[in-house]
Amino acid sequence: MTAIVLFAAGQQMYETYRIPLMQALDNLALDARLVTDAPPECVDYIIYAPSSDVQDFTPYTRCKAVLNLWAGVEKIVGNPTLTQPLCRMVDPSLTQGMVEYVCGHVLRYHLGMDDHIHARPGDWHPVEPPLAQERKVAILGLGALGQAVAQALSTFGFDLHGWARSAKSVPGVRCHHGQDGLKECLSHAQILVTLLPLTAGTENLLDARALALLPKGAALVNPGRGGLVDDAALIAALDSGQVGHATLDVFRTEPLPAEHPFWTHPRVTVTPHIAATTRARTASHVIAQNIARGEQGLPFLHLVDRGRGY
């Protein structure tokens, strides 16, 4: 029977996704029909984004999976009407984008590029720049993105520490877990990268106490989620010099309100949630793969664990 795939991520996204999705479904020879409207009881799969009109999943009684176009699921995972399996996006292009964003900002801090970009005429004080193996970088979150970033940073030779919920073994990374592991990780982090999901267990993780554990003048790169950071504590740490600089891509409120102090703080770089975006061509393949698995009765890829919240 033809599987009905409801694209419920909005009309604008549909313009971008329609052709790549149809091609991806075709490539896997799937008997599936992509629609933007259908009686809920006829829908087999829902392609979802947080801005979706579909927020009550109760009438979708036949739906085998909700396929999120976003990697982060904090806006849907707690939806009490969602009883269907929820899959998040793990897209190779999104991963590559994140690797490039993080490596770019880590190298910027490592090489002290801002000093040269903002140098005044006559500012000629050559110092030997450190090499990557002399630079301690810590990554909080060693999932799809954290591990890809770690792998890329390890090719430069950075002295890498990482932290996850469970014990991990990642080549080139000293892995930590648990509260003691977090402290250990933070204490080494001359450059700290946060690639954690936003859950009850990670919200405000970077509070005043955690920021105080960093080596003085550490740099922060946060493309994870705004809620991981206590904004007021970060501003205080930046003002005191405990944190030397922060590059923030994600915020509690997005777009970041014009009056937010991050915009004008001399030690903050704001980027508008562009670290990594889901790309239609590669993401469509991931969606089609999951529909194929659903149709074959195979376990879905990138299934979200509701209990853990990610």
The site for ligand NAP (CB under 6 A) is made up of 71-72, 90, 94, 98, 141-146, 163-166, 195-199, 201-202, 223-225, 249-250, 273, 275-276, 310
30 or 139: CB nearest ligand NAP = 139
Identify whether the C-beta of residue 142 lies closer than 8 Å to the C-beta of residue 181: no
209 or 216: CB nearest ligand NAP = 209
SS3 141: coil
Residue of 108, 188, 225, 285 marked catalytic: 225
Closest approach of ligand NAP to the CB of residue 198, in Å:
6
Identify whether the C-beta of residue 279 lies closer than 8 Å to the C-beta of residue 93: yes
Residue nearest to ligand NAP (CB): 143
> Is residue 18 flagged as an active site residue?
no
40 or 143: CB nearest ligand NAP = 143
Closest approach of ligand NAP to the CB of residue 37, in Å:
29
Phi/psi for 68 (5° steps) reads -80, 135
Residue of 33, 165, 260, 273 marked catalytic: 273
32 or 245: CB nearest ligand NAP = 245
Q: Is 210 left (phi over 0), alpha (psi -120 to 50) or beta?
A: alpha
C-alpha 58/C-alpha 60 separation (Å) is: 6
Identify whether the C-beta of residue 222 lies closer than 8 Å to the C-beta of residue 197: no
> Is residue 306 flagged as an active site residue?
no
74-88 burial code (b ≥16 CB/10 A, e <16): bbbbeeeebebbbbb
Closest approach of ligand NAP to the CB of residue 229, in Å:
12
Closest approach of ligand NAP to the CB of residue 122, in Å:
39
Identify whether the C-beta of residue 196 lies closer than 8 Å to the C-beta of residue 225: yes
Q: Which residues are catalytic?
A: 225, 273
